Structure 1
Amino acid sequence: MRAVRLHEYGEIDVLRVEEVERPVLGPGQVLVEVRAAGIQPGEVMIRRGLRHDRWPATFPSGQGSDLAGVVVELGSQARGFRVGDEVLGFTHARASHAEYVAVDDVNLVPLPRGLAWEVAGSLYVAGTTAYATVFAVDAGPGDTVVVAGAAGGVGSIAVQLAKRRGATVVGLASLGNHAWLESHGVVPVAYGDGVAERVRAATGGRVDAFIDTVGDGYVDLAVELGVDPERIDTIRDWSAAARVGARTLGEGAAASAVVVGELARLAARGDLEVPVARTYPLDRVQDAFRELEQGHTHGKIVLVP
């Protein structure tokens, strides 16, 4: 099969698509022929070696967590699936950017009818991270919640989940994404110089919770806006969180098939939009990450092996 491999830390040019052996299944695993697999900003940091202390790579390394596809083989003790089933889920083995991937059966759920492959294959990391951030700040009726990076892969889901819990949501995003935010009942505010004053004007000066998907000073902005640090959650700026006492719940806090299944059902019913910015064939993985690293992408970028 073909799979993305990197043999050293580095920039985009270290990514290669190589011929490798198909995975050998463990007893409780399922072999999935991948139809779609999302790419993540966190994978950029890992590839550059900037997360070596937390998530070290062993070379040659694969890449990818999100996946959706078709079951083609079952391990001897795999349960709940049959060959031919359409599924979505995740792997912790950095392996989904490939034509086939071995997945623990407990990390898969059935693909709901009507859910597009590219949405299903990009739901795990962004979706469970968004779920965890909304849970972390305890967004609910009567709350005003600000989301930084509100049109990105995580932020675009977080704003919708916070709205579903009854909160008033303010989304920080570029002007080009304001119409999308407004269409989902989110109050858009442009980021950049003067953002604190614009947020105060949009909220009447009251902000109860803050979700930071960007880093770059947003934890400090939340403190400046008067948010209790226990209701600030960041998935990027761990040092600022430690300094002020904010929370850092992300994907790992909600990494379960139960959460993925719930999000998939919402998306299939049309109650949750998972924007997909663009899809790329596996052979163009470098181009996919080149677009991702330019920033300001609305929604997910997805590989389609």
Structure 2
Amino acid sequence: MRAAVVTKFGDPDVIEVQDWPEPVAGPGQVLVDIELTDLIFVETAIRKGDHGNFFDVQPPYVPGNAFGGKVRSAGSDVDEKWIGRTVVGRTVDFGAHAEIGVAEAAALVEVPAELDLQTAVAVFGDGFTTLLLEQLAPSLQGKEVLITAAAGGMGVLLVQLAHQAGAHVIGAARGQAKLDLVKAHGADVVIDYSVEGWEKLVLEATNGEGVDVAFEGAGGQLGATAFSTVKDGGWISAHGAPSGGFAAIDPAEAERRGITVKGIMDLRADTREIEITGEDVMRRAAQGDLVPVIDRTFPLDQLGEAHNAVESRALVGKALIRIQ
């Protein structure tokens, strides 16, 4: 089968489309003819060799995780009713950027008739974390809410949910096209965080009081600056790292100011207590609560180009990869 392969850690040109052995479905697993896959920023960092403490992978490997396609065959202990159904899911470990993938049958979600496959794939991965944050955050009604990386795949979904919850939404992104997108999806105020002193604009938008809640998806210094805009007693999730690392937030300062901080490891722990299912994500998308924005769909042969577009922040919305 054809698959995109990360031949070694490095720049996007290390990705090559090759003939690759077809996977074999074990007990409880299925093989899927993959049609579309998601591409998220962390995959570009893994390709460079970053985040080794989170992801145990060595080249050569087939990247990608979230997919949409049709079940071609079922392993032992799997009901054959799945065969031929259009589903979204996650491959076992990596391996989604290939014509055939292997996935756990128990984690498959059939795509509802109300959704096309592109929408289902685009919302599936980001939707889990978005709904988890919705559950973890305090009530947003009437609150000042800052969302950084607001034009990204998950940022747009968070803007939508905060708007629906009745928050005063401040969306921070880079460049006019992204600000226009964020505004169109429900932000009351948009701020370009490439402008020096952007945090002062956040304070102006909150009458100098700061924000009650911050969904921080940018990381790095942007994330640290976002933390500075949270009022005492507030709440922040530091879940993004596209700026080169997760936001460095001083635990002692957070404790002194009474700010609840949810870092990436906290979010992983919370998934053991709060169960968000794929069916939940699809249901909320079918209801119109979660509307993903797709900028471009790249063919498999251009996966390296897609990585470059994601890394350079050239996209307004998400990138998908069409496998076949």
CA contact (8 A) 1:151 1:298 kept: yes
Question: What's 2:212 paired with?
Answer: 208
The two structures have a TM-score, normalised by structure 2, of: 0.85
Shift, 1:262, TM fit: 1.9
1:106-146 CA-to-partner distances (Å, cap 9, x unmatched) read 22111011322222223333222223334343342122110
Is the CA contact (8 Å cut-off) linking 2:214 and 2:227 kept in structure 1?
A: no
Which residue of 2 is the match for residue 46 of structure 1?
A: 46
Contact 1:171 1:186 in 2 (8 A): yes
Q: What is the distance in 2 between the residues matched to 1:257 and 1:131?
A: 10
Distance in 2, matches of 1:114 and 1:239, equals 38
Residue 238 of structure 1: how far off its partner (Å): 3.8
- Alpha-carbon separation, structure 1, partners of 2:134 and 2:232: 15
**Residues 4-153 of structure 1: matches in 2 within 5 Å?**
4-79=4-79, 81-153=81-153
* Contact kept? 1:137, 1:211, Cα under 8 Å: no
Give the conservation status (yes or no) of the 8 Å contact 1:37–1:304: yes
Q: Please report the TM-score for the alignment, with normalisation by the length of structure 1.
A: 0.90
- Which amino acid is 1:278 matched to? R
Structure 2 CA distance for aligned equivalents of residues 117 and 270 of structure 1: 15
1:190 is aligned, of 192, 216, 235, to 192
Work out the number of aligned pairs and report it.
Answer: 305
- TM superposition shift of 1:301: 0.4
**2:258 matched to which residue of 1?**
none
Distance 1:177 1:7 in 2: 33
Q: Residues 223 and 246 of structure 2 are in contact (CA less than 8 Å); yes or no, is this contact kept in structure 1?
A: no
Question: Which amino acid in the other structure matches residue 231 of structure 2?
Answer: V
The 10-residue stretch of structure 1 (148-157 or 228-237) with the greater mean CA deviation from structure 2: 228-237
Closer, same or farther in 2 for the Cα pair 1:89/1:80, shift >3 Å? farther
Distance, in Å, in 1 between the alignment partners of 2:131 and 2:232 is 20
Cα RMSD (Å):
2.4
Of the structure 1 ranges 122-131 and 25-34, higher mean CA displacement relative to structure 2 is found in 122-131
Residue number in structure 2 paired with 1:276: 294
Q: Percent sequence identity over matched residues?
A: 28
One-letter identity of the residue aligned with 2:202: V
Equivalents in 1 of 2:208, 2:106: separation in Å?
45
State how far apart, in whole Å, the 1-side matches of 2:183 and 2:167 are: 15
Structure 1 residues 207-248: Cα deviation after superposition (integer angstroms, max 9, x where no partner): 101111111323332332243586111122446136455321
Matched, 1:241 2:253: no
Code of the aligned partner of 1:129:
T
Residue identity in the other structure for 1:241: I
Q: Quote the residue 1:219 is aligned against.
A: 223
Aligned counterpart, 2:303: 285
**What 5-or-longer segments of structure 1 have no aligned partner?**
none
Over 3 Å counting, the alpha-carbon distance change for 1:41 and 1:226 in structure 2 is closer
Using a 3 Å threshold, how does the CA distance of structure 1 residues 79 and 162 change in structure 2: closer, same or farther? farther
Alpha carbons of structure 1 residues 107 and 226: separation in structure 2 relative to 1, 3 Å: same
Matches of 2:88 and 2:202, distance apart in 1: 38
Deviations 1:170-225 (A, max 9, x none): 10023222333233221222222121121122222341011111113233323322
Consecutive unaligned residues of structure 2, counting only runs of 5 or more, are 255-260
Q: 1:53 to 1:178 in 2, by over 3 A?
A: closer
Aligned-partner SS, 1:119: helix
Residue in 1 aligned with 2:317? 299
Partner of 1:175: 176
TM-fit CA distance, 1:278: 0.3
